[in-house]
Amino acid sequence: MAFPFGAYADRLHVDRVRQPPRGRMLKARFAGIRSLALRSMGLAIRGVVLVAIGWALYVNLRGLWPIVRKEIRFIVKNPVLSYDQKMSAKWGLYHDYMVFVRENTPPDAVIMTPPQTWPWLSEGNRLLDYYFLRPRILKGGGVEKLEVDEAATHVMIAWGSHGPENPEKHGWPKPPYPPGKVIWMPGQTERWGLIDLRENR
Partner 1 sequence: MMPVVSCLLVIVAFGWVVTLIIAPDLRFLERLALAYGLGLGLMTLLMFCLGLVGLSLSLANMLLPLLLLTVILGGMWMSMNAKKGGRIDVWKIKFELLWPHIVQGFKSLSTLEKIVVLMTILLCLSHLLITSYWPVYAWDALTVYDLRAHLIIEKRSIYEGLMTLKRFTEYGVGYPPFTSLAHTWIYLWGIDNPKFLYSLLFASFLIISYYFLREHCNVLCSLTFTLLLASSPVIFRAATIAYTNFPFTFYIGGGVLYLYRWMHRGTRGGLTLAGLFVGLSSWVRAESHAFFLAAFMILIVYSLLRRKYLAPLWFALLYLPIEPLWRRYVSHSLGSQAPGGFGGVRAAAKIVSSQSLDWTRLVTVFDFLREAFQGQYTIVLLLFTVTALLHLKNLKEHGYLFLLLISNIGLFIAGSYVFSIAHSDWREIPDSANRLFMFMLPLVLCYSALTKPVQDLFTWLEGLLSAKASGGPV
Give the interface segment with partner 1, choosing from 1-9, 32-40, 44-52, 163-171 (CB under 8 A).
44-52
**129 or 155: whose CB is closer to partner 1?**
129
Residue 183 DSSP SS3: strand
Does 102 interact with partner 1 (rule: CB under 8 A)? Answer: no
Beta bridge partners of 193: 157, 184
Q: How far is CA 55 from CA 17, 40, 46, 47, 50, in A?
A: 55, 22, 14, 12, 8
Does 56 interact with partner 1 (rule: CB under 8 A)? Answer: yes
Give the interface segment with partner 1, choosing from 61-69, 150-158, 159-167, 172-180 (CB under 8 A).
61-69
Backbone phi, psi, residue 13, to 5°: -65, -45
Q: Which of 119, 88, 117, 106 is nearest to 194 (CA)?
A: 106
Give the interface segment with partner 1, choosing from 11-19, 55-63, 143-151, 177-185 (CB under 8 A).
55-63
Give the interface segment with partner 1, choosing from 54-62, 102-110, 155-163, 176-184 (CB under 8 A).
54-62
Does 151 interact with partner 1 (rule: CB under 8 A)? Answer: no
Tell me which H or E stretch contains 60.
helix 22-77
Binder to partner 1 among 6, 21, 63, 175 (CB under 8 A)? Answer: 63
Q: How far is CA 151 from CA 40, 71, 110, 128, 198, in A?
A: 82, 44, 7, 21, 10
Does 71 interact with partner 1 (rule: CB under 8 A)? Answer: yes
Binder to partner 1 among 11, 24, 27, 86 (CB under 8 A)? Answer: 86
Contact call for residues 110 and 139 (beta carbons, < 8 A): yes
Does 68 interact with partner 1 (rule: CB under 8 A)? Answer: yes
Does 183 interact with partner 1 (rule: CB under 8 A)? Answer: no
Does 72 interact with partner 1 (rule: CB under 8 A)? Answer: yes
